A and B are shown apart, each in its own frame.
Chain A
Amino acid sequence: MLANVEKRTLLTVITEAVIEQSLLRDLEKQGVRAYTVSDARGRGSRGIRDAAWDEVANIRIEIICQRAQAELLLSHIQDQYYTDYAMVAFMVEIEILRGEKF
């Protein structure tokens, strides 16, 4: 059993690759200091997004932070992006090492 495990929240945002730059800039303004971005494919209410070319490419952004900050970020992106962009965002409770990092 690991002794120094701490609870944090993982916020995952799956959205259109076209808004990557502006979304990341926005998240940084909201105080996000670290994140991981990966390319993603899938299908949803906006059709097949198979990353065959830029306009239908998706990305997945993952942010590990405190629960309170994750909630703030989630409501911020809901206000700013949900109506006009293909976007799915969700939170999961996770356990991490090195709590001072997140």
Chain B
Amino acid sequence: MIDVVVLFFLFGLLAGLARSELKLPAALYESLSLILLLAIGLKGGEGLAKQALSPLLPQLGAVIVLGVLQTLIAFAILIKLGRLGRSDAAATAAHYGSVSVATFAVGANWLMTRGIDFEPQLAIFLTVMEVPALIVGIMLARGVSKDTDWRALAHESFLGKGVTLLLGGMAIGWIAGPEGLTPIKGLFYDLFKGALALFLLEMGLIVSRQIGELRKRGAFIISFGLFMPLFSGLLGLGCASLLDLSVGGMTLLATLAASASYIAVPATMRLAVPEANPALSLSAVLGITFPFNIMAGIPLYHYFAVQLAGAL
């Protein structure tokens, strides 16, 4: 059975394809993403308050390596098989090495709906995995040149809206603990699914606008958009089993690895690698990878995680 939040996505997609007048106010989309980011941060912080933090450090190292590896592999595929130019390949690879909060939220929601637990540090993984791909992508496009304004880029990547909200939410959740959070649970936990549903409605509308662009791009970028998340998802599963995560944690780390950024990376790449065509990466990420992950990918990663956990 398809999750109800995904039905909202399909509704938005169909309405957009039918060229309906439907349009969500930009301020609503912003507010919803703010609630989702804070809710994910709060939940992670609340869970982290119950456990020691020092065992997490090697795990963070592992997911950083995972993000770097994905970016390098995507770059190699795009250059060798896709025959893309260096800048376009590097920018697109960075999208695929990084992560999507919306996909994470749908994955977390999928697990929660089925009563499957996952480790609280997944929220930290989400935050940490945004950045390495950005840096690797810029280095692939530029080389390590003096022209790159690393300070501005560091500011852009570490203090962007997404990372700031996630870290802020985590800190508040960690300090307040489960009891302290009770008064605000109504907004951030109980309304999470409703907020996610509306957010996905808008995502459907956004994705519908990529379809025309995708038609122009042809078979390679479409197959890359399908193959890359599957490959990264398996890489994520491998990493998760090395880290000894639960089945829920494995599923969610695979989902994170499979997801591709469409907010933080495009904005930063536009500044750092301006000659790369933003429409190319976005059409693959939004037109193919995001819908694939939320509709087919997440159940698939969960199936693989169950098999892998059974085999170990």
Residues in B neighbouring A16, C-beta threshold 8 A: 270
Chain B interface residue count, CB cutoff 8 Å, equals 19
Q: Is A83 within 8 A of B275, CB to CB?
A: yes
Chain A positions 11 through 30: 1 when the CB is less than 8 Å from some CB of chain B, otherwise 0: 00000101100100000000
A47–B216 Cα distance when bound, in Å, is: 14
Per-residue interface assignment for chain A, residues 28 to 47, with 1 indicating a CB less than 8 Å from any chain B CB and 0 otherwise: 00000000000000000001
Is A19 within 8 A of B278, CB to CB? no
- Of the stretches A1-9, A48-56, A67-75, A88-96, the one at the interface is A48-56
Cβ of A56 to closest chain B Cβ, rounded Å: 8
Report B's interface with A, CB cutoff 8 A. 23, 26, 29, 152, 202, 205-206, 209, 262-263, 266-267, 270-271, 274-275, 278-279, 282
Q: Is A79 an interface position by the 8 A CB rule?
A: no
Chain A 55-91 per-residue mask, 1 if CB under 8 angstroms from chain B, else 0? 1000000000000000000000000000111000000
Contacts of A19 in B (CB 8 A): 270-271
* CB proximity of B32 to chain A, nearest CB, Å: 12
What are 24 A-to-B residue pairs whose CB atoms are below 8 Å? A16-B270, A18-B266, A18-B267, A18-B270, A19-B270, A19-B271, A22-B271, A47-B279, A51-B26, A52-B23, A52-B205, A52-B206, A52-B209, A53-B29, A53-B202, A54-B267, A55-B262, A55-B266, A55-B267, A55-B282, A83-B275, A84-B274, A85-B270, A85-B274
Q: Taking chain B's interface residues, is the majority helix, strand, or loop, or is none over half, making it mixed?
A: helix
Closest-CB distance, B29 to chain A (whole angstroms): 6
A83: chain B residues at CB < 8 Å are 275
* Chain B residue, CB-CB nearest to A85: B274
- Given that A18-B270, A19-B271, A83-B275 are contacting pairs, would A53 and B152 also be in contact in the complex, using a CB cutoff of 8 Å? no
Say how far A74's CB is from chain B's closest CB, in angstroms. 19
- Complex Cα spacing A53 to B267, Å: 12
Residues of A with C-beta under 8 A to B29: 53
Q: Name, among A18, A22, A53, A84, the residue most crowded by chain B CB atoms within 10 Å (CB to CB).
A: A53
B283, chain A: closest CB distance, angstroms: 12
Distance of A51 Cα from B206 Cα, bound (Å)? 11
Q: Is the CB of A53 within 8 A of B26?
A: yes
Within 8 Å CB of A85, what residues of B? 270, 274
> By the criterion CB–CB under 8 Å, are B270 and A54 in contact?
no
